[in-house]
Every structure is written in C-alpha cells, then in structure tokens.
Amino acid sequence: MREEKAATTVRPRTPQGRATAVAHPNIALIKYWGKRDERLFLPWTDSLSMTLDIFPTTTSVRLDAEAEQDEVTLNGAPATGEARRRVVAFLDLVRERAGLSRRAVVDTENTVPTGAGLASSASGFAALAVAAATAYGLDLDATGLSRLARRGSGSASRSVHGDFVVWHAGRTTGTDEDADLGSYAEPVPSAGLDPTLVIAVVDAGPKTVSSRAAMRSTVDTSPLYRPWAASSTADLAEMRTALRRGDLEAVGEIAERNALGMHATMLAARPAVRYLSAATLTVLDSVLQLRREGVSAYATMDAGPNVKVLCHRTDADQVAAAVCAAAPGTAVHVARPGPGARLLNEDG
Ligand code: DP6
C-alpha cells in the first residue's frame, strides 16, 4: 500500500467531488503489441503515436455518498459486462490511491461512429483518468496522469498528450514501483510536418478477437514476436529522427513496415490471428499505386481490417478519393494532429 502511493507521485489534494474531461483517440505509428505485465499494463516495447483531432470522448465523474455501487453510463445506456468491469476496476485503483471509498456516477459520451474501427478505449480511459483523478483529489501531473490512464488501457497513456507522443515501456527489472514509474507517455518533438491521416473504414463490424487477447496469444505463441519487438526498438529510434527532421516520407515508411511486422507476428501466432481482410489488401494496393504515382501515402492498421493512410495535408483529398475508388463502400474520415486530454470547466 505504501509502495503503491509512492509509485504514483500522488500529492493529496481536496477532492473536487465532480469533474468532466475530454480526450481524443490516437493512432500508433510504432505499435504497442504485447504486455510484459498484464496487471500493471507494462508493454514489452516503446510505442509512438499521433493523437487525433476528431472523435473526442467526454467523461464526467461525480462522487455519490449514498451509492452502494458505481453507476456507469456509456452513450446514454448503462454499461454492462466487460466495459463496466474495466471502468469499475479503474475507479477502484483511483479510490485506493485517494484513500476514499465513495462510489461514483460516470457518464461517458464517445463520438467515434460505431464500428469506425477506432478503439475508443484510448480516449475513454484518458478522459476517465483526468476526470476521476480530479473528482477523487489525486494531484497528478501529466506524467502521473499518463501512468494512471495506462492502467485502464495501454494506449490511453498516449492520449493524455497531443500531437506526437512516445510511450516508454520502462525497465523490465526492478520492483513493481520502479516499473510503474518508468512506464509513461510524453510528447515527442516534430518539426515542420503537416500530416493527415485518412482513415479508411472498410468494415464497420465488431472485431472478432479483442486486441488484449490477441496480443497475449501473440506474445505466448508467435515465433516472430521477439524479432519484431527487437526491430520495433530500432524503428522507434529512426522514427524519432524522422520526426525531428519533419520527413513525412521516412515517418510513413517506418510506420508502414512496423505495422506490417506487427500483423506478421499475429499471422504466425498459434492459432493465427488475422485482422486484415481482402478489402484491407485492396486499400494497401491503392496506397502502393499512389506512391507509384508520386504521392506520399503510407498505411498502418491496428486490431481490425481498417486502414489509416498517412499523407501530406495537401494530398488528403486525392488519397481519400483513390482509396474509395479502389474499395467501393469504404467510408473515410480525415484526421489531423489533435490535443491532449483536458478538464472542462462547468460551462464546458
Ligand atoms: C493495435 O491499448 O487497446 O491499437 O492495453 O489491452 O487495453 P490494452 O490494449 P490497447 O491496444 C492497442 C493495440 C494497437 C496498437 C497501439 O495502439 O499501439
């Protein structure tokens, strides 16, 4: 218990009793895939992402002295099953750190269209971390909030910050306290980039395997996992240099190979996990064709068949049109670098 408090650099503060926060999703250019500690959400590798300017999640937390259990509402309906369990487990962690037992009323509004293929867990837990920390009186700086958000969903640690963000895996040795302290996200410098992500939704259906289960089975069974993790470390170092130089072509090439490598680790898992569909490959072909025509366009895919295409802002319309022409029925969303998580005041 004592260690737990030290690990989070909590400075007790007066609980506000209620707070509302907003956070945006992020897309990884260097992927997080695989945990070395599932309880603490510690990854095997560093990852790097771009926070988006679309699809915010807004979450309010209000402490309720009378309530016997947490009340969790998601897009206007009571949360059930795994979604509710994850939020309550997260609130338990906040309560333990705050030394308070009061239950909460949590209200979350996601603006990601259902099935857009963008996980709402990153924006969701980043917003919940900021709102719950304030409501329960944990005085955390951005690094502390990132560590806290990580305990809800690994990728949420990155949505605490805006623009380009690196999440440090931290040390693999030492105490739990050391490990917790070492694993947080922070902004990464980038110069002169004017990037856009064209999000191509080829399939809006729910995913068949959760990313949590898929990454576990990949780490446990894929002979390609360790080689990918090693190459991902090298990719991250190159990515930092490319961002510093403002070299979109290098950023895109590194992101694309890192994502394809991650999917290769899954294809080699036993049994194989395959998120990429025929439509995904059609979009990847159109991205290759764009490059042949001299357009800088690079693809990345997460735990689903949808494709996010990185390009210069000035090429976004052309990229969106090419993707839609190649894979009719594809819905596209255009995203740019967005802000980090923040508290909203009473009038929003
Ligand atoms: C493929 O953060 O959703 O999007 O930590 O188990 O909640 P948990 O997983 P999550 O995994 C994201 C995986 C990914 C790659 C990435 O965002 O880096």
Q: What is the predicted pLDDT for the residue at 318?
A: 98
Under a CB-based contact definition with an 8 Å cutoff, are residues 146 and 184 in contact?
yes
Measured in angstroms, how far is the CA atom of residue 292 from the centroid of ligand 1? 32
**CATH architecture of structural domain 195-335:** 2-Layer Sandwich (3.30)
Residues flanking ligand 1, CB < 6 Å: 28, 31-33, 41, 47, 119, 121, 153-155, 211-212, 302-303
Where are the domains positioned within the chain? Answer: 15-190, 195-335
- CB contact set of 152 (below 8 Å; sequence gap of 6+): 41, 86, 87, 90, 121, 124, 125, 128, 129
Measured in angstroms, how far is the CA atom of residue 4 from the centroid of ligand 1? 24
Q: What is the predicted pLDDT for the residue at 7?
A: 36
Q: What is the predicted pLDDT for the residue at 252?
A: 99
CATH for 15-190? 3.30.230.10
CA distances from 296 to 33, 202, 247, 338 (A): 26, 21, 11, 21
- CB contact set of 271 (below 8 Å; sequence gap of 6+): 217
Which of 123, 155, 183, 280 is the best mutation target for the ligand 1 pocket, counting ligand atoms within 8 Å of the beta carbon and taking the most? 155
Q: What is the predicted pLDDT for the residue at 174?
A: 84
Predicted TM-score (pTM) of this structure: 0.95
Q: What is the predicted pLDDT for the residue at 83?
A: 92
Structure confidence by residue, pLDDT tens digits, 201-230: 999 877 778 899 999 999 999 999 999 999
Under a CB-based contact definition with an 8 Å cutoff, are residues 93 and 151 in contact?
yes
Ligand 1 closest atom vs CA 262: 1
Please identify every stretch of the chain with a pLDDT value under 70, giving residue numbers as ranges.
1-12, 114-117, 346-348
- Max CA distance (Å), the chain: 64
Q: What is the predicted pLDDT for the residue at 114?
A: 65
Cα Rg for the chain, rounded, in angstroms? Answer: 20
Distance, in Å, from the CA atom of 225 to the CA atom of 264, rounded to the nearest integer, reads 9
